[in-house]
Amino acid sequence: MTEMFRDKIDISLTVNGEPVEARVPAGQHLVDFLRGELGLTGAMQAANTVSLTPRRRQDRGRKRMTEMFRDKIDISLTVNGEPVEARVPAGQHLVDFLRGELGLTGAHASCEHGVCGACTLKVDGKAVRGCLMLAAQADGADVWTVEGLSDLGAIKDLQDVFVERNALQCGFCTPGMLVAINELLEAGGTPSRDQIREHLSGNYCRCTGYEAIVDAVETVARVRAQKGPHDHSIR
Ligand code: FES
Ligand code: FES
């Protein structure tokens, strides 16, 4: 992202009580600035633990990116099986377009850094990070959100077992997990617990555990394998 948006911007802020003035690439994330420029390596890229007031965090996050790159681009894509045409700001991320313009709020924007998985979407058959993909890049794409997969019944068995096994967690992390797991299940076979964990390693829960989730995925994979080929795929 830093490489894509290299224009420099002067910023003035207070970090840990000290005034800081800097010239930063437009696409540089705050955590990278703090770690790389100020040597504050306590904030890890694995999670957005940088503390800002909600309003300031919003201002400095992806919304600011949208405001900075306002040139409009016409896009034409398919979302949850429906054709969509739109005119979007060049800097708008796909997850914001889906949430803000189409009202598909299942995918969340959390870390905005590609590490937490809350924004996971299915694009052209692959699980992708909606916070790292621009809406403009989705021109011509086939996009599915957790709402579409759910309405289609493609993940009904997974959703049912999530409830049965108490794997259902909060609304922030669960939608992304379901979309990521759907990708694994669509690949077929019966993944080992290690493979399930590996596949879900990009989907963070900040508060509970993964044991029940792995149980649920393992259960669904086994049931699907026993039933033989059947159409859980939407592609
Ligand atoms: S919001 Fe965390 S990976 Fe996209
Ligand atoms: S982040 Fe959703 S339950 Fe932990």
pLDDT beyond 60 at 51: no
Q: Would the CB of 168 count as within 6 Å of ligand 2?
A: no
Using a 6 Å CB cutoff, which residues line ligand 1?
A: 109-119, 129, 131
Residue pLDDT, tens place only, 9-18? 889 898 888 8
4: pLDDT confidence band, cut at 50, 70 and 90? very low
User: For residue 116, how far is its CA from the centre of ligand 1 (angstroms)?
Assistant: 5
Please work out whether the CB of residue 166 comes within 6 Å of at least one atom of ligand 2: no
CB neighbours of residue 213 within 10 Å = 26
Q: Whose CA is nearest to atom 1 of ligand 2?
A: 205
Sequence-distant (6+) residues with CB within 8 A of 233 are 154, 186
Domains and CATH numbers, the chain: 2-49+66-149 (3.10.20.30), 153-227 (1.10.150.120)
Q: Distance, CA 173 to ligand 2 centroid (Å)?
A: 5
- Whether ligand 2 lies within 6 angstroms of the CB of 169 is answered as yes
Of the ranges 42-56, 131-145, 203-217, the best mean pLDDT one: 131-145
Listed residue (107, 114, 122, 111) closest to 180, CA to CA: 122
Residue 109 alpha carbon to ligand 1 centre in Å: 6
As a whole number, mean pLDDT of residues 163-185 equals: 94
- Is residue 52 scored above 70 in pLDDT? no
Residue 83, both tokens: 């054709």
Q: DSSP letters of 109-149?
A: -SSSSSSS-TTEEEETTEEEETTTSBGGGGTT-EEE-HHHH
Contact 120, 179 (CB under 8 A): yes
- The mean of the pLDDT values for the chain is 86
Torsion (CA) 80, 104, 51, 213 in degrees, nearest 10: -60
For residue 204, the ligand closest to its alpha carbon is: 2
Give burial (CB, 10 Å; 0-12/13-18/19+) of 7: exposed
Pocket test for ligand 1, best of 116, 128, 133, 177 (most atoms within 8 A of CB): 116
Atom of ligand 2 nearest to the CA of 173: 2
Residue 65 has pLDDT above 90, yes or no: no
**145 pLDDT band (50/70/90 cuts)?**
very high
Instruction: Give 178-212 as a DSSP string.
Output: HHHHHHHHHT-S---HHHHHHHGGGS--SSS-SHH
Contact of 119 with 104, CB cutoff 8 Å: no
